[in-house]
Amino acid sequence: MIDIKTHDGIAVMTLTHGKANALDIEFCEALAACFTELRKSDTKAVVITGQGRMFSAGVDLIRLSEGGIGYIRKFLPALHQLYDTVFYHPRPVIAAINGHAVAGGAVLAACADRRIMARDGGRIGITELQVGVPFPALAFEIVRFAVPPRYLAEFTLGAATYASDAALQRGWVDEVVEPDALMERALGAAQQLAALSPPAFAQTKIQIRQAVTERMTQSGAATDKAVSEIWTAPATLVFIRDYVARTLKKS
């Protein structure tokens, strides 16, 4: 599922979960566990990337549609834990977006401190409303935190994906580089942030994310209750299955 190699104190985490790095319960738990273990290590920073033309396609909708309500009720907490663990990781996290980062995969990239995308390597965007599901509370707050406010409605309600240059122009990513320079640039960005005082960096990161923490404390539970009710509604499951039939299971 996950391959981790260390380069000069930087952990390079390559996602290798099937063809699409789709998020299912096991993958979410494995990723969260990796970040938890890295907290205990002397790793100075983390670079997270995918393989080929796929960073992550987001939630495994086939597994979701087949698993039904019981699976969804177990999956949503696992997804929350993944985002929480990555977003609040105390050390620098760089997303080296090698390919498509869609829906939950785009949110995963947004958890990072810096997002660097390979030019013309894939598309990025949050397509949840195309699938028929609202954003879990933390996922929405992470997107709100990461993107320019003027594009938040376009990204969430429009549910579109963007090629690299358009993503840079709209603030989905911080930088676009040629594909063969992606990892070198990501490692360079990681080393630059890792050179800062680790305690000062960690504390500043907490302060930068304070608005997310406060919103989650104030309304996260209520939002997730409403979101869970929609995700597990029979009509939503029909919508998801129709979407899977139209798109993911095309011959």
Q: Which amino acid is at 141?
A: E
**pLDDT per position as a tens digit, 15-53:** 999 999 999 999 999 999 999 999 999 999 999 999 999
What b/e string do you get for 34-52 counting C-beta neighbours within 10 Å, with b at 16 or more? bbeebeeeebbbbbbbbee
Q: What is the pTM of this model?
A: 0.97
3-state secondary structure of 4: strand
Query: Which residue, chain included where needed, has tokens 């979410």?
Result: 28
pLDDT of residue 247: 85
* Surface-to-core class of residue 229, CB atoms within 10 Å of its CB (0-12 exposed, 13-18 middle, 19+ buried): exposed
Task: Assign 250 a pLDDT band (cuts: 50, 70, 90).
Answer: low
Q: Which domains, and CATH codes, for the chain?
A: 2-180 (3.90.226.10)
Percentage of the chain modeled with pLDDT above 90: 98
* Long-range contacts of residues 241-247, Cβ cutoff 8 Å, at least 24 apart: 241/65, 243/61, 243/130, 243/131, 243/132, 244/61, 244/62, 244/65
Contact 187, 7 (CB under 8 A): yes
Q: What is the mean pLDDT of the chain?
A: 97
pLDDT in tens, 137-193: 999 999 999 999 999 999 999 999 999 999 999 999 999 999 999 999 999 999 999
